[in-house]
Structure 1
Amino acid sequence: MANILSTGTSALLAFQRALSTVSHNVANINTPGYSRQQVDFEARSPQFIGAGYVGRGTQITDVRRVADELANARVIDSGGELARLQQLSSMSGRIDSLMSESTTGVAGLWSNFFDSVSALSSNASAPAERQNMLGQANALTTRFQQLQGQFDQLSKEVDSGLAASAGEVNRLASEIAALNGRIGSAQTAAPDMLDRRDQMIRDLVALTGGTAVQQDGGAMNVFSAGGQALVVGVQASQLTVIPDSYRPERQQLALQTQGQTIRLDERVMGGRIGGLLEFRSQVLDQTQAELGRIALALGTTFNAGHSAGVDQYGDMGGAFFNIPAPVATGHAANGGTARFSASVADIAAVDGRNLVLQFQGGTWSATDALTGAAKTVTGSGAPGDPLRVGGIALSIDGTAQDGDRFLLQPTAQAARGLAVAITDPGRIAAAAPVQVQATLGNLGSAKPSAVRIVDAANPALRTPSTIEFLDANQYLIDGDGPYPYTPGDTVSANGWSFVLDGIPSAGDTFTMAATAPGSSNNGNAALLAGVDDRAALNGGSLSLNGAISGLTTAVGSAARHASYAAQAQATLHEQATTARESISGVNLDEEAANMLRLQQAYQAAAQIISTADTLFQSLLGAVRR
């Protein structure tokens, strides 16, 4: 009778605990990362009664979670990559919006400015047209500055995101390490604690990318995408942000472990942190540099053309735009006193990419700051022989020591500093500095074309000159010559040139004279109106208009590529999550069936105990009689 009661009690307790497990599963159906739990039963050791063995009921051997480590690993890996791509896509989309929207982009104001230059070339003496050109120029430079300001704000957001993410990484890593210590062996650990650790690992990898590896004893070690150990057993490393060695205003990530601070290579980080760093280096910095290159090319080429003209006061034109110089900053660990003064030597050779200059063994070398590719360096750096690299000239002041490094940013800050240099509309050099006229008594059919300025710096440029044809095949310039002439040849001297349309006759003369103040001549304005179509970049193969279009297209392409990649990865992550849920997820239909089955078993066990009690009461009654 005692055996019946013991057997019924064991079943009652086992089924009660199994029902508690089922109810626990149902209660956590919406808990992120929860793995359903399952109760394992086994028969208790039987009792030998001489004639054989009699069973003694059941007992629970384990309450375990239903999990597949491979499925969990897939979710961890795909989650880290998805977080990286979503972060990259989100930030890249903001850059694309800035550059492509008509209200924030530069393309519309760029067209307005050159339209105003073209309008001035049609009416060079009109005050309204001059004022409009100045207004459009100011609007264009303001837009460049606004875009640079937006880029700076995005850079600050990246810095803030890195700092916040580092704090979250440290919290998660510390809690995972603490759980490793509490869990001990995975075989004896509480299922809920294992789920909690797995969820934290997923959250950590979503920030840094990387993998989780189980070591002997059940602890989980977590490594970043670059292989840096974040958690090893009960030890957690700490992420921190440190100032960039070249640009202190910019933050970099570093790992603090075993008393050392190790700067992390931003190219090998994953997760949301990797997305932030990739956005900054591959999208933000590149867009900023290219926008600066366009601003630099605009200022350089437009100034060159403007300085070749004459304003309404009869003076040669000066700079129309103020252009900032390239920036070269030293590494924080430099030991020498060297400083660089940088200027643009050849705008066609400037590609806008940041370069690292290093002094070693008495010579300077240069590498691409992003890829590490070597760049050609010429010159010594002395004032009369500057270093030349990537279209930039650099003069050195002070003395460099071996190992000293500098970051050269040819165009990164150019958009911020581009500004209109003049305020007086009369100072716009719309006129050509000299004009050529045919003498009224000429007998030939030759007519001079517009004067082209070959060398605006020639001191004799505006000196009056007379071109006299001895016959149709030779001419004198101010009595010098004769020079041979064939129809279509260019006549040039003192920094100017022109071409005759028609055939000159003997005795025909043409006079070259300085353009008078207040002239309505539009020769230089007509040339300035075509600056945007001039192939000034990429070695003379890319126009400014092409560069503007190319920048907008490149930014849009990068944003679309990141968006498509994020969408594809979201599908892969959903598949991995679905695969895990098919194994570990709670199924209400299945749990309802289990609950019904266990409820019936529990009631049956209770009936066994009731039967035992009835038998015992019958026995007591018989004894009393």
Structure 2
Amino acid sequence: MSNLLATGSSALLAFQRALSTVSHNVANINTPGYSRQRAEFAAREGSNYGYGHVGSGVSVVDIHRMADSLATSRLLDSTGELNRLQQLSVSSSRLDSMFSDKATGISAPWSAFFDSVSGLSSSAAGAADRQSVLAQANALVTRFNQMDQQLDKLDGEVNSGLTANVSEVNRLTKEIAAINGRIGNNAANASGDLLDRRDQLISELVGYTGGTAIQQDGGQMNVFTAGGQPLVVGTAYSSLVTVADPYRPERLQVALETNGQRVTLDKRAMGGQIGGLMEFRSNVLDPAIAELGRVAMSLAETFNSQHRAGMDQYGQMGADFYTAPQPTISHNAANTGNAVLTPTLGDLSALNASNVVLRFDGTNWVGNDPNTGASVAVTGTGTAADPLVVNGVELVLSSDTPATNDRFLLQPTAGAAGTIKVAISDPGRVAAATPVKGNTALTNSGTGKLGTVSVSDASNADLLTPSTIAFTGPNTYTVDGAGPYTYTPGQTITANGWSVTLDGAPAAGDSFSVGPTGANSSDNGNAKLLANLDDLRALNGGTLTLNGAISGLTTTIGSAARQADYAAEAQQVIQDQVQAARDSISGVNLDEEAADLMRLQQAYQAASQIIATADTLFQSLLNATGR
């Protein structure tokens, strides 16, 4: 009878614990990272009564945590990659919106400016048209400046994101290491809830840094970044810190501190949100800043060059229309020498927007791409007579001597969009006219006629000096008495920085004069040339127009945003799949739990009947013996 009571009691206790486990599962259905638990039953060893063994009930031998290490590992890998791509997609989409929206992009004010210059070419003497050119030019440089400021703000947001994420990483690594300490070397005896908590923290950590988690013998977990740097090893943990960029102190980098050592990490060493921020900065934001600066620098250089070849309403040669931005260079904070390099724009057609790290190896200067490490060609010695030439930029070593391994970061165009300005404010200073014009002598007997006089060298000191072309015969001519020169019909005659082509056949004694256009001219020759500069093939070795550069910039940013978005969507599908695989093993299913609840409830009630039966038998025995 006592055996019957003990058996019923063991069943009641076992089913009660099993019911508590099911209830615990249901209660944690919405708990992130929770793995369902299952009570494992085992029969108690029975007693041998000679005729056989009689069972003595049941006991719960384990509360089993339903988890699969492979599914968890796959989920970690996917989580880090998803967070990286989502961060990259969100940031890239913001940049794309800025460039593609007419209200914030560069295309609308760019077109409006060149439209105003085209209008001036139709009415060079009109004061309103000149004022419109200046107004649209100021609107254009304002947009350049605003976009550069917005890009700087995005760069600042990357700094803020890195700082916030580093703080979260340090919190998580510390807590994971503490849980490792609580688990010790026997994870089999650890609470399932504690193991779930650790897995959830690791998942959050990998979401920030990317990487993997590896279980040690005994059960402690080690966590590494995407680049293999240790974040948590047993009960020890490393810290992430933000440090100033050695070339640009306003920009933050991420470094790993462990055992007193500090190692700066690049985008290849980090995944997750931090990796996404770093990848956005280096692969999308920096190229956008640099290319926008190249467009601004190219506009200033080409427009100024042509504007200086024209004449304003005061009869003076045109000055710079824009303040021309120049390349910038920064020294590494670890440099030991005192060398100063001064950069200037050299060959616009060779200008490359990519940054270059220049290093002095003790004898020569060598260049490398800071992102890939690829070599960049460097020529020259750095003197004023023989400057260093890197991607169209000329650099002069203006003072002191570099030390071996001193480094400098050359930014050919970054920031140029923020410094471009309109250099003139007087509409009369717009150089719309060709500075020289030609006249045909009324006494000429031949059929020769002067074509349009054009400027071939605006810097020639004698450009505005009156000149006379005199034909000493149908095939010979002099210029201001110099010559005679052989003349071939249709050839270009050049002198004093101007050139002209004659139509027809000049006769001996014919003469033509070339002189300054003069003040208040309605000539529009230079305005026509200025209006077509947006289609000038000035970039990439003479293969790319300024319009093409703007279109290419907008297209490149849009393409980067779309690719990041597509990749994030694809990774989300993978994440959903691996999450479903994990949930099929570890997730709580209410239907299954309800079925278990009913089954255990019935078993518990049946066990109660066993005790009730034992009690009835005991009472019958008492009644029988008490008579």
Q: Determine helix, strand or coil for the equivalent of 2:217.
A: coil
Q: Determine helix, strand or coil for the equivalent of 1:187.
A: helix
Q: Summarize deviations over 1:409-459 as a string: whole Å, max 9, x none.
A: 010011010000111111111111111111223333332222221111111
Q: Determine helix, strand or coil for the equivalent of 1:540.
A: coil
Matched with 2:329 is 328
- Report the CA distance between 1:187 and its aligned residue: 1.1
Q: Summarize deviations over 1:502-537 as a string: whole Å, max 9, x none.
A: 332332221000111111111111111111111111
Matched with 1:491 is 493
- State whether residues 451 and 523 of structure 1, in contact with CA within 8 Å, keep that contact through their aligned partners in structure 2: no
Matched with 2:307 is 306
CA distance, structure 1, for counterparts of residue 72 and residue 56 of structure 2:
39
After the TM superposition, which residues 10-89 of structure 1 pair with which residues of structure 2 at under 5 Å, given as runs? 10-89=10-89
CA distance, structure 2, for counterparts of residue 106 and residue 144 of structure 1:
7
Q: Summarize deviations over 1:354-396 as a string: whole Å, max 9, x none.
A: 0101111221111112211112212221233221111111111
Q: Summarize deviations over 1:97-156 as a string: whole Å, max 9, x none.
A: 111111000011111111111111111111111110000000000100000000000000
Q: Summarize deviations over 1:8-67 as a string: whole Å, max 9, x none.
A: 000000000001111111111111111111111000111122332111100011101111
**Are residue 355 (structure 1) and residue 356 (structure 2) matched?**
yes
CA distance, structure 2, for counterparts of residue 31 and residue 483 of structure 1:
95
After the TM superposition, which residues 55-134 of structure 1 pair with which residues of structure 2 at under 5 Å, given as runs? 55-134=55-134
Which deviates further from its counterpart, 320-329 or 596-605? Answer: 320-329
Aligned with 1:456 (options 443, 458, 464): 458
Matched with 2:530 is 528
Letter of the 1:44 counterpart: R
- Report the CA distance between 1:501 and its aligned residue: 2.5
- State whether residues 310 and 433 of structure 1, in contact with CA within 8 Å, keep that contact through their aligned partners in structure 2: yes
After the TM superposition, which residues 606-625 of structure 1 pair with which residues of structure 2 at under 5 Å, given as runs? 606-625=608-627
Matched with 1:599 is 601
Matched with 2:233 is 232
CA distance, structure 2, for counterparts of residue 368 and residue 546 of structure 1:
25
- State whether residues 300 and 325 of structure 2, in contact with CA within 8 Å, keep that contact through their aligned partners in structure 1: no
- State whether residues 178 and 234 of structure 1, in contact with CA within 8 Å, keep that contact through their aligned partners in structure 2: yes
Letter of the 2:59 counterpart: Q
CA distance, structure 2, for counterparts of residue 448 and residue 530 of structure 1:
24
- State whether residues 267 and 277 of structure 1, in contact with CA within 8 Å, keep that contact through their aligned partners in structure 2: no
Q: Determine helix, strand or coil for the equivalent of 1:609.
A: helix
Q: Determine helix, strand or coil for the equivalent of 1:516.
A: coil
**Are residue 170 (structure 1) and residue 164 (structure 2) matched?**
no
**Are residue 514 (structure 1) and residue 516 (structure 2) matched?**
yes
- State whether residues 46 and 53 of structure 2, in contact with CA within 8 Å, keep that contact through their aligned partners in structure 1: yes
CA distance, structure 1, for counterparts of residue 291 and residue 498 of structure 2:
34
**Are residue 556 (structure 1) and residue 563 (structure 2) matched?**
no
Letter of the 2:54 counterpart: V
**Are residue 408 (structure 1) and residue 410 (structure 2) matched?**
yes
**Are residue 261 (structure 1) and residue 262 (structure 2) matched?**
yes
CA distance, structure 2, for counterparts of residue 449 and residue 110 of structure 1:
32
Q: Summarize deviations over 1:579-605 as a string: whole Å, max 9, x none.
A: 111111111111111111101110011
Matched with 1:442 is 444
Q: Summarize deviations over 1:539-596 as a string: whole Å, max 9, x none.
A: 1111111101111111111111111111111111111111111111111111111111
**Are residue 382 (structure 1) and residue 383 (structure 2) matched?**
yes
Letter of the 1:459 counterpart: A
- Report the CA distance between 1:242 and its aligned residue: 0.4
After the TM superposition, which residues 152-191 of structure 1 pair with which residues of structure 2 at under 5 Å, given as runs? 152-184=152-184, 185-191=186-192
- Report the CA distance between 1:470 and its aligned residue: 2.7
- State whether residues 266 and 278 of structure 2, in contact with CA within 8 Å, keep that contact through their aligned partners in structure 1: no
Matched with 2:484 is 482
Matched with 2:289 is 288
Matched with 1:542 is 544
Matched with 1:366 is 367
- Report the CA distance between 1:188 and its aligned residue: 1.1
Letter of the 1:219 counterpart: Q
Q: Determine helix, strand or coil for the equivalent of 2:342.
A: strand
The Cα RMSD (Å) is 1.1
Matched with 2:145 is 145
Letter of the 1:121 counterpart: S
- Report the CA distance between 1:249 and its aligned residue: 0.3
CA distance, structure 1, for counterparts of residue 444 and residue 63 of structure 2:
113
Q: Determine helix, strand or coil for the equivalent of 2:187.
A: coil
CA distance, structure 1, for counterparts of residue 372 and residue 319 of structure 2:
39
- Report the CA distance between 1:70 and its aligned residue: 1.0
Matched with 2:197 is 196
Letter of the 1:115 counterpart: D
CA distance, structure 1, for counterparts of residue 187 and residue 265 of structure 2:
32
CA distance, structure 2, for counterparts of residue 444 and residue 619 of structure 1:
151
Q: Determine helix, strand or coil for the equivalent of 1:342.
A: strand
- Report the CA distance between 1:186 and its aligned residue: 2.0
Letter of the 2:263 counterpart: I
Letter of the 1:171 counterpart: R
CA distance, structure 2, for counterparts of residue 256 and residue 591 of structure 1:
46
CA distance, structure 2, for counterparts of residue 441 and residue 20 of structure 1:
119
Unpaired runs of 5+ residues, structure 2, are none
Q: Determine helix, strand or coil for the equivalent of 2:518.
A: coil
The percentage of aligned residue pairs carrying the same residue is 59
Matched with 1:206 is 207
Letter of the 2:255 counterpart: A
Matched with 1:424 is 426
CA distance, structure 2, for counterparts of residue 536 and residue 529 of structure 1:
15
CA distance, structure 2, for counterparts of residue 446 and residue 90 of structure 1:
67
- State whether residues 306 and 318 of structure 1, in contact with CA within 8 Å, keep that contact through their aligned partners in structure 2: yes
CA distance, structure 2, for counterparts of residue 448 and residue 33 of structure 1:
86
Q: Determine helix, strand or coil for the equivalent of 2:612.
A: helix
Which deviates further from its counterpart, 471-480 or 33-42? Answer: 471-480
CA distance, structure 1, for counterparts of residue 223 and residue 563 of structure 2:
30
Letter of the 2:545 counterpart: S
Unpaired runs of 5+ residues, structure 1, are none
CA distance, structure 2, for counterparts of residue 39 and residue 487 of structure 1:
106
- Report the CA distance between 1:81 and its aligned residue: 0.5
Letter of the 1:252 counterpart: Q
- State whether residues 472 and 504 of structure 1, in contact with CA within 8 Å, keep that contact through their aligned partners in structure 2: yes
Letter of the 1:360 counterpart: D
CA distance, structure 2, for counterparts of residue 584 and residue 469 of structure 1:
100
- State whether residues 297 and 326 of structure 2, in contact with CA within 8 Å, keep that contact through their aligned partners in structure 1: no
Letter of the 2:517 counterpart: T
Q: TM-score, normalised by structure 2?
A: 0.98
CA distance, structure 2, for counterparts of residue 448 and residue 236 of structure 1:
84
